[in-house]
Chains A and B, each alone.
Chain A
Amino acid sequence: MIQFQNVSKVYPNGTKALNDVNLEIKEGEFVAIIGLSGAGKSTMLRLINQLIDATSGSVLVDGVDVTKAKGKKLREVRRQIGMIFQGFNIVKRASVLTNVLSGRVGYHPSWKTVLGIFPEEDKQIAYRALQRVDILEKVHSRASDLSGGQQQRVAIARALAQEPKLMLADEPVASLDPITTVQVMDYLKKINREDGITTVANLHHVDLALKYATRVVGVREGRLVYDMPIKGIDKPRFFKDLEKVYGRPIEHDDVLEEV
C-alpha cells in the first residue's frame, strides 16, 4: 500500500529530517509512528500525500510514485488519502456540513464545488460520515461552536467523506484531554477495522500506540530504529524496546495513563 524507498528529506534551512528511510506498509494495517519531537514523524506522514516533497528517494502509494505526481494526478492520489491533524484544521467559520462536504471536492469539477454545488449522494455520504462518528445532530452547527473533541470528529468525518483507502493522523489527540483522546482513537480504530482503511498515525503517547496499533515504527533523528508488529507483546518488554527510539527510559510524560 505504501512504500518508502531510500527516502531522505533535507529542509531548506538545512535540517536533515529523514535519512534513507525504507518502509513498507500493507493494506489494512494500523501503524503508529513514535519518536521524540523533531525525529521526523510528521515529515514521514506529509511525504505520503506530498504536502512536502522528498529530497531523494521515492514514496509509492498503491504503486504510484507520489514524489513524481503533479497537478491532477497528485490531486487524484490525495483524494484517496484522508488526513487529520493535531489542530483539527477544519474551517471554523463554516458549518459542519460544509466542512464534511469539502471532503468531496476532489471528485467534482472546481467550478461546481466553488459554487457550493454538490450532488445529493454527496450529502448522503456526508451525513453517513457524521453518523459514523456520532455527531450527526451537529450537522448544521458552526464548526467553531464545537468542542475540541467534536471538531476532531468532524475532521474525521471530512476524511471519511473522501471515501479514502488510507488515513493519516498527525498527532490526532495531542490537543485533547484523556477522555476525548480515547474516544477519537476508538473511532480511528473502528474505521480501520470495519472499513479496512489503512491507518498511519503519529502518536506521542506510547501506551496509545500499544493499545491501538497493529505495528509500531520508531524514528530517531530521521532514521527508522524500530519496526515491530506488536500483537501480544507485553508492556514491560515494549517499553524496554522503546528505549532505542527515545535514547532514554520511558517516562511519565510519554504515556497517557500510568506506566
Chain B
Amino acid sequence: MERLIVPRPNHLRRNLIILTVVFLVVGSGWFAGFDFVQIFRNFIKGGRLLRRMFLPPAWSYAPKVVTPLIETLRMALVGTFWGALTALPVAVFAANNFIRNPYVNKPLRFILNIFRTIPAMVLASLFVAVFGTGPFSGVLALSVFTFGLISKLTYESIEAIDYGQVEALMSLGATKVNVLRYAILPQILPQFMSYTMYGFEVNVRAAAVLGYVGAGGIGQTFEHNLAWREFDKVGVIIVISFFVVLVIDLVSSRIRRSLV
C-alpha cells in the first residue's frame, strides 16, 4: 500500500510557550534569591525548632487557646454574614441580564474588582489603623473581603441563569422585583448559599492570621507566644487550629456538595 505523506505538525507555538514559562520560573527564582543550599543549611535549625514546638506541645496550655479560637470563629462568622448579606443585592445590580444599563453595572463591576484584589491582611491593617486593634477591625476586614468574593461569584451565577424563566415572568406582567423573586432568586439561591459557606471556610483561615496585624483572634495569641519564644505553646496553637480548620472545611464542603 502507498505510504501517505502528511506534513509534520507545527509545534512552534507550543515550544515557544514552554520556553517562555521555563524562562519566567527560573528567572523569577533567580531574581528572588531562591537558593537550595540555604534550604539544606537551615534544615537542622528548622528541625530543632519543630522539636521544641511539637515534641511535645504544651498541652496544658490548650484551655487558654479555646477563648481566642472561639473569637476567631466568631469573627469569621460575623464577617461572612455581613459580607454575604451586602453582596447579594449588589450582585443583582452588577449582573448585566437584570440591569440592562451598562452605565450601572460596568462601574459597579470595576469597584467590585478593586475590592477583590485587596488581601484580607491589608484590609485588616487598614482597619486597625482606623479603628484600633481588636476583633472589630478583623470583622470589618473579613466583611469587605467576603463581600468582594461573593458578589463576584454571585453576579456571574445570575448571568448564567436560564433566561426563559425570566421571560415567562415578564410575559405575565411581573415587575422587576417579582422577576427577581420568582425567576432569579430560586435559580441562584443554592449557589449563593454554597458561595457563602465557601466564604466562611476562607474566612476561618484568614481570621486565624489576622491577629498578626492586631485584628483579634487566635493570630494575636500566636504572635504573642512566638515573640516570647514559647515554641511549645505555639505548637499547641498550630495543632488545635489545624484540626478546627480541617473539620470546618470537611463539614462545609460536604454541605456545599449537597447544595448544588
Give the B-binding residues of A (Cβ under 8 A). 49, 51, 75-79, 81-83, 85, 87-94, 98, 102-103, 105-106, 110, 113-114, 155, 158-159, 162, 168
Q: Which of B164, B178, B187 contacts A85 (CB 8 A)?
A: B164
Q: Is B183 an interface residue (CB 8 A)?
A: yes
Report A-chain residues with C-beta under 8 Å of the C-beta of B169: 102, 105
Cβ contacts B13-45/A at 8 Å (1 or 0 each) = 000000000000000000000000000000000
Instruction: Choose among B168, B181, B190 the residue with the greatest number of A CB atoms under 10 Å from its CB.
Output: B168
Interface centre among B165, B169, B171, by most chain A C-beta atoms within 10 angstroms, is B171
Q: B5 near A: Cβ within 8 Å?
A: no
Point out the residues of chain B lying under 8 angstroms from A49, CB to CB. Answer: 171
Contact B181 A91 (CB under 8 A): no
Chain B residue with Cβ nearest A86: B164
A49 and B162 CA atoms in complex are apart in Å by: 20
A-B pairs with beta carbons under 8 Å apart, 16 shown: A51-B171, A75-B174, A75-B175, A78-B171, A85-B164, A91-B183, A91-B186, A92-B165, A92-B186, A93-B190, A102-B169, A105-B174, A105-B175, A114-B177, A114-B181, A158-B168
| Complex-state Cα separation, A20 to B172, whole angstroms | 27
Main secondary structure of the interface of B (DSSP, over half): helix
A85–B172 Cα gap in the complex (Å)?
12
Minimum distance in angstroms from A44 CB to a CB of chain B: 14
- Check B170 for interface membership: any CB of A closer than 8 A: yes
A91-B186, A94-B186, A110-B178 as given contacts; A103 in contact with B165, CB under 8 Å: no
Chain A residue numbers with a CB within 8 Å of B162 are 87, 89
Bound CA–CA A159/B189 (angstroms): 25
A110 touches B170 (CB 8 A): no
B182 sits at the interface (CB 8 A):
yes
**Binary flags per residue of B90-125, CB closer than 8 Å to A gives 1, else 0:** 000000000000000000000000000000000000
- Residue ID in chain B nearest A78 by CB atoms: B173
Task: Please give, as numbers and ranges, the residues of chain A lying within 8 Å of B190 by CB-CB distance.
Answer: 93
A233 to B175, CA, bound (A): 44
Cβ-defined contact, A106 with B174, below 8 A: yes
Q: Are A102 and B172 in contact (CB under 8 A)?
A: yes
Tell me the complex Cα distance, A76–B175, Å: 11
Question: CA A110 – CA B183 in complex, angstroms?
Answer: 14
Q: Give the docked Cα–Cα distance between A77 and B183 (Å).
A: 20
**B230 in contact (CB, < 8 A):** no
Chain B interface residue count, CB cutoff 8 Å, equals 21
CA distance A79 to B178 in the complex (A): 13
CA A51 to CA B174, docked complex, whole Å: 12
Q: What separation, in Å, do the CA atoms of A51 and B172 have in the docked complex? A: 10
Contact B174 A89 (CB under 8 A): no
Other contacts beyond A75-B174, A98-B182: 18, CB < 8 A? A51-B170, A75-B173, A75-B175, A79-B173, A82-B172, A89-B164, A89-B165, A89-B168, A90-B168, A91-B182, A93-B187, A93-B189, A94-B182, A105-B169, A106-B172, A106-B173, A110-B175, A158-B168
Distance A92 CA – B183 CA, assembled complex (angstroms)? 9
Instruction: Report the nearest A residue to B187, measured CB to CB.
Output: A93
- The reply to whether A85 and B175 form a contact with Cβ atoms under 8 Å apart is no
* Chain B contacts for A92, CB-based, 8 A: 165, 186-187
Report the minimum CB–CB distance from A35 to chain B (whole Å). Answer: 21
In the complex, A87 Cα to B163 Cα: how many Å? 11
What is the CA–CA distance of A99 and B35 in the complex, to the nearest angstrom? Answer: 65
Whether the pair B167, A113 counts as a contact (CB closer than 8 A) is no
Chain B CB within 10 Å, residue with most, of A75, A83, A89, A90: A89
Which A residues are CB-close (under 8 A) to B168?
83, 85, 89-90, 155, 158
Cross-chain contact B171 with A83 (CB below 8 angstroms): yes
Give complex CA distance A77, B171 in Å: 10
Chain B residue with the shortest CB-CB distance to A143: B186
CB-defined contacts of B189 to chain A, threshold 8 Å: 93
Which residues of chain B are within 8 angstroms of A88 by Cβ–Cβ distance?
Answer: 164
Q: Contact between A89 and B167 (Cβ–Cβ < 8 Å)?
A: yes
Residue of A77, A82, A91, A103 with most chain B CB atoms under a 10 A cut-off: A91
